[in-house]
A = this chain, B = another copy of it.
Amino acid sequence: MRGKVAVIGVGMIPFGEHFNKGLEDMAQEAYIACLKSVDKGIDPKEIKAAWFGQWSGGMIGQGAQSGAMLASMIGNMEIPITRVENGCPTGSDAFRNACIGVASGIYDVVLALGVEKMRDKPGSESLIGAGGGKGGGLGSHPSWMMGTGGPSLQALYATRQMYELGCTMEDFARVAIKNHHNGTFCQYAHYRFEVTMERVLNSPIVCWPLHLLDCCPQTDGAAAAIVCRADLAKNYTDKPIYVLGSNVGLDHANYWDKHKFTEMLATVRAARGAFEMAGVKPKDLDLAECHDCFTNTELMNVEDIGICEKGEAHKLLEAGEFDMHGRIPINPSGGLKAHGHPIAATGIGQICECTWQLREELGDRQVKMNNGIALQHNCGGPGFGVSCVNILSRSS
């Protein structure tokens, strides 16, 4: 895909609690923001197809989705729309499928939009797990992971990271401290407050060793991106951002088949394929938006993407290398931890952040550009068996 496809517009709504907005309202606001962001202007009729990220579907009282729902939301019945669901990477994979649609030569300009309501849920019938982090009940196969949720699944990894790699609860807390700090600069972030080591470590244990403040919040949100043929991009914007690589990686959905609990093969595979397609290496990245549904998850994924060796991430974090102005900033947006995690919107929200960073539009949370390359990553789904990586660049 290297350089064939370009992002020409991105838009999102502030992530947070939107009890006063329906799925439709949120999708429409993100769509309009995205259209308006195309600096040379775009007629909505130029969009020829769309991919609609929506995770929860009929599971938590939002009704089944499908392309017709997005068509209604954006008032466009004249294009094909596919609903994509792929666990927590739903938004990233909707974006990937939109890019594939353009690369196919069938559609010149297409939309990827993800929207999720996590805060309005039915009562007792809901399977959303307890704890600050999103539960895993809904993402679980009924026979394979009954009773587990996000925190308890990630605790299996966290304890092993402590045992094998020497991570401590303080190391995990440093991810929260960094990402909450970053989030204070982002007007779209769900949580815009600093946390301290003391506050994280004194917050209630959700599932040992994960505290409440090690868990990302449940968040409502919507985000959208318009992508087009790279050779047409300059008709729409002076600052197109090119898609170099895009890939989904998978692993067993059931836990007894996992090879180990200090590495996510889904992420390893997604990143390997995306870098290969992009023709770049982890050292070329200027930033990464990396899945941190739990603090330990960020450390694991930074390693699995290849940004550092296994067991090194917590040391580099402590040394400040992942800070907003460090060697390779991780989650300058605040990450899922502070920016929030409205599942199908999360990945496309990260695409927004990467696009703004690459365009150097972000003022006081702008990271330094060297090569002008950013990586976006999500993982999740049944057994954290799905991962998606997109690599974006200022040059094609």
Which residues of A line the B interface, CB within 8 A?
A: 1, 55-59, 61-69, 71-72, 77-87, 93, 96-97, 100-101, 103-106, 125, 138-144, 247-254, 257, 265-266, 269-270, 273, 277, 381-383, 385-386
- Residue numbers in B under 8 Å from A82 (CB-CB): 84, 86, 93, 96-97, 248
Contact A84 B84 (CB under 8 A): yes
Of A141, A254, A257, the most chain B CB neighbours within 10 A belong to: A141
Cβ of A252 and Cβ of B141 under 8 Å apart?
Answer: no
Residues on B with C-beta less than 8 A from A257 are 72
The complex places the Cα of A386 from the Cα of B96 at a distance, in Å, of 22
Ranked 3 nearest A-B pairs via Cβ: A68-B385, A80-B248, A63-B141
- In Å, the complex CA distance between A382 and B52 comes to 15
Give A68 to B277 CA distance when docked, in angstroms: 21
A277–B125 Cα gap in the complex (Å)?
A: 46
Of the A-B pairs whose beta carbons lie under 8 Å apart in the complex, a sample of 8, sorted by A's number, is A1-B106, A63-B382, A66-B381, A66-B386, A77-B252, A80-B247, A82-B86, A84-B84
Given A64-B138, A71-B385, A250-B77, are A100 and B104 also a contact pair (CB < 8 Å)?
yes
CB-based contact B80/A66 at 8 Å: no
B85 and A66 contact, CB distance less than 8 A:
yes
7 new A-B contacts, CB < 8 A, other than A66-B386, A71-B385, A78-B269, are A1-B106, A58-B59, A63-B140, A69-B253, A71-B250, A72-B252, A77-B265
Q: Which residues of B contact A106 (CB under 8 A)?
A: 1, 100, 103, 277
B-chain residues with CB within 8 Å of residue A248 when the two chains form the complex:
67, 80-82
**Considering the chains assembled together, what is the distance between the CA atoms of A96 and B51 in angstroms?**
13
User: Which of A55, A67, A86, A385: most chain B CB closer than 10 A?
Assistant: A67
- When the two chains form their complex, are residues A62 and B142 in contact, meaning their CB atoms are under 8 A apart? yes
Q: Is the CB of A386 within 8 A of B67?
A: yes
Min CB–CB distance A22 → chain B (angstroms): 9
Given contacts A80-B247, A386-B66, contact A254 B72 (CB under 8 A): yes
Decide if B93 touches A139 in the complex (CB within 8 Å): no
Please state if A383 and B63 are interface contacts (CB–CB under 8 Å): no
| In the bound complex, CA of A187 to CA of B83 (Å) | 32
Are A382 and B66 in touch, CB under 8 angstroms? yes
Q: How many angstroms from the CA of A257 to the CA of B75 in the assembled complex?
A: 12
A67 neighbours in B (Cβ, 8 Å): 86-87, 93, 248, 250, 381, 386
Cα distance, A68 to B66, chains bound together (Å): 20
A68, A72, A84, A100: most-surrounded residue (chain B CB, <10 A): A68
Query: Are A250 and B382 in contact (CB-based, < 8 A)?
Result: no
- For A141, list chain B residues within 8 Å (CB): 63-64, 69
Expressed in whole angstroms, the minimum distance between the Cβ of A265 and any Cβ of chain B is 7
Report yes or no: A64 in contact with B87, Cβ–Cβ below 8 A.
Answer: yes
Scoring A62, A82, A96, A382 by chain B CB atoms within 10 A of each residue's CB, the highest score goes to A82
Which residue from B65, B143, B265 sits with its C-beta under 8 Å from A85?
Answer: B65
